[in-house]
Amino acid sequence: MKKMYPLIALAVCSMALRTFIALRIDSVPVVDFARFYDTARAIAVRDWAFNRTPYFTIWAYQTGFALYEAIVIRLSGSFAKTALIVLNCLYITGTNVFVYLIAGEITESRKCAVFAGVLYLLIPEVYTLAPVLTNQHLALFLLMSGFYLALNGGSRAIAVAAVLFALGNCIRPLGVIAVAAVLLFNLLICIIRKEKPLPLVKTCVILLAAYMLTLGAANAVVIGSGLNPNGLANNDPLWKFAAGLDYEHKGAWSRELTEAVYAIEDAELRKAAELDYIAAHRPQSIQQWSELFLGKIRTLWLENPDLQWSFTEPPTWSATFYAVNIRVNIALWVMALIASTIIWKRYNTAAILPGIALLLYAGAHLLIEVQPRYRDFALPLLCILASAVVKPRGWVKN
């Protein structure tokens, strides 16, 4: 039982601190978050007119998160917003717990596990995003729990991990990153350990089958119930690339793209307009490509998330928050890079999984739209990798 004390203390501190701070922030849903919340309130009273709006026709996959919020609203009544915020804090705490568990699994050291958990506990931007009614918190919790199970191997654990990845994807479409990371992880383990390919094939089949079956079932439920005839489909996959390859706007969302494309209802005309937009706005030289990629790296990793998501007016301590937060992020990267050299020399092969997931996520954002708040997926992975800087003695390759 004593071995559990650090984990229990971390969970209690995380939940208490995050809930206390989140409930003191007077956050009002804006832009897409307001759209999700208003849609959820409509779904809660069985008003499904939202599924005829352009937004939920094009990006039908957002129905999953709106449905989740609707269930919470239906159950909590007039306390809906508070309940959603408290649940956000619970999911963030769950992610914090899995940071601890995965770091401990990789390093086989409680000291490293505690270090990783405390690192995640100290990241400022996670606190300011806690009261925001975004799909990020629940999705990240589901993906991190899936990673933890995937590390343990075994057919049952892999199947449950795949289900969690699929459910996370229904909330926020990052499941493909998680699945690809686990597949590559198992492939590399097979190569490193010179194992026979049959166990690898079995793992891949179970992972993909469970993932696709869960997604298919969720899609069928949404369509069959009449909630959204488009199910959980993404009927405009080019949108993120049109934004992400926009040299003029540094790979970020722009009003120009919205005005050029959003109002087009016909799918084929919309696709043609987006392809034209990409051709006109993509970098035109090697120098411009390098400038775009470096600019996106700077935006995603070295800029602060806008406090407008959390506050109706910028708080007086905004400048201090930005200064501290960006330094914490830089410190995380420095520790993760130092730890990676340690892992390379003497590592538990489980350390490969968070590294692969981080590289896949970072690589994907070279091509698609970026915002500073999108690095939320990478933060727990960085904390896990950084835990190796306090590596125990005698940590050997296996």
- Measured CA to CA, the distance from residue 302 to residue 375 in angstroms comes to 10
State which amino acid sits at residue 302: L
CA dihedral (311, 314, 317, 322) positive or negative: positive
Low-confidence ranges of the chain (pLDDT < 50): 396-398
DSSP secondary structure string, 140-179? HHHHHHHHHHHHT-SHHHHHHHHHHHHHHHHHSS-HHHHH
- Measured CA to CA, the distance from residue 88 to residue 137 in angstroms comes to 6
- Measured CA to CA, the distance from residue 329 to residue 217 in angstroms comes to 39
Query: How many C-beta neighbours within 10 Å does residue 286 have?
Result: 8
pLDDT of residue 398: 47
> And the tokens for 311?
């506050």
- Measured CA to CA, the distance from residue 211 to residue 62 in angstroms comes to 18
Burial label, 78 (beta-carbon count in 10 A; 0-12, 13-18, 19+): exposed
The SS3 assignment for 199 reads: helix
- Measured CA to CA, the distance from residue 263 to residue 67 in angstroms comes to 25
DSSP secondary structure string, 23-59? HHS-----HHHHHHHHHHHHHHTT--GGGGSHHHHHB
Phi-psi region of 234 (alpha: psi -120 to 50; beta: other; left: phi over 0): beta
DSSP secondary structure string, 61-104? GGHHHHHHHHHHHHHHGGGHHHHHHHHHHHHHHHHHHHHHHHHH
pLDDT of residue 397: 46
- Measured CA to CA, the distance from residue 254 to residue 243 in angstroms comes to 7
DSSP secondary structure string, 302-323? HSPPPGGGT-SS--TTHHHHHH
pTM summary value: 0.92
- Measured CA to CA, the distance from residue 330 to residue 325 in angstroms comes to 9
Assign 3-state DSSP to the chain and report helix, strand, coil percentages, each to 5.
75, 0, 25
C-alpha count within 13 angstroms, C-beta hemisphere, residue 361: 26
DSSP structural state of residue 282: S
pLDDT tens digits along 221-247: 999 988 999 999 998 899 899 999 998
- Measured CA to CA, the distance from residue 104 to residue 7 in angstroms comes to 11
> And the tokens for 122?
């100290």
Of the candidates 120, 128, 123, 125, the one whose C-alpha atom is nearest the C-alpha of residue 95 is 120
DSSP structural state of residue 288: H
- Where b means 16+ CB within 10 Å and e means fewer, 183-221 reads bbbbeebbeeeeeeeeebeebbebbeebbeebbeebbee
Task: Please report where in the chains the tokens 């939920």 appear, as a residue.
Answer: 56
- Measured CA to CA, the distance from residue 271 to residue 268 in angstroms comes to 5
pLDDT of residue 384: 94
Chain-centroid distance, C-alpha 77: 28
State which amino acid sits at residue 326: I
DSSP structural state of residue 134: -
